[in-house]
Chain A
């Protein structure tokens, strides 16, 4: 399972509060990704990282920020949560040691509800 954990696994929060989701990996992978998954939209990329302190935006980055101060941790922050950010959030890593070089391994997900 590529040693990926996400925390918390479930969270309920109120509109306007800050929220930080954590993705932790144990295998020193360079690339990490944050997705959200919603009915009717599938998985959409929020932000990704290609190394410590190296991050870039995905297709739905508005309202989200990320940080990567250590190889093993990739944090996703909702500065001021809104109801539209209620979703299931998945973290993934890209395993460059594989022949395909491009397959991604996903964490178990965090279910976030913003009331």
Chain B
């Protein structure tokens, strides 16, 4: 069955450093992969989408890579700030792209310390 794995342990880093979060998947070849941010008590918020034919996507301090050979995506936050502290979820296309269905990883909690 399709499976997505994210670092289960919280990631603690110092302000100003680069945070790198990992998303690995098996038994699937998605056409795209997405990253979401979720704050406590709130719904996830979309951050970035990267397609299978794209190696890298950037948005401000965020960078996502997608290696379909390794079946892995890396999510980087450069010059991290305490406000970046949240849980980050990766999500893959699930089934036909027409449906928009997603399968989510469990999320990695990032804590940025001042």
Contact = CB atoms under 8 A, between A and B. Distances in A.
Interface of A: 31, 33, 35, 40-45, 48, 50, 56, 58-59, 90, 92, 94, 100, 102-109
A106 B103 CA distance: 15
A108 B106 contact: no
A100 B49 contact: yes
Shortest 7 CB-CB distances between A and B: which pairs? Answer: A106-B43, A42-B106, A43-B104, A103-B46, A94-B100, A100-B49, A42-B104
Given A50-B99, A108-B43, A102 B93 contact: yes
Contacts of A92: 43
Contacts of A58: 101
Interface residues of B, number: 23
Given A43-B89, A102-B49, A105-B46, A56 B104 contact: no
Contact of A45 (B45, B49, B101): B101
Contacts of B100: 31, 33, 48, 94, 102, 104
A43 B44 CA distance: 10
Contacts of B93: 102
A109 B43 contact: yes
A35 B99 CA distance: 15
Contacts of B89: 42-43
B5 to A, nearest CB: 11
Interface of B: 32, 34, 41-46, 49, 89, 91, 93-94, 97, 99-107
Given A42-B105, A103-B46, A106-B43, 12 more contacts: A35-B104, A41-B106, A42-B104, A42-B107, A43-B44, A58-B101, A100-B32, A102-B32, A104-B44, A104-B46, A107-B43, A109-B42
A1 to B, nearest CB: 9
A41 B3 CA distance: 11
B49 A103 contact: yes
Nearest to A90: B43
A100 B100 CA distance: 11
Nearest to A35: B104
A48 B107 CA distance: 22
Nearest to A31: B100
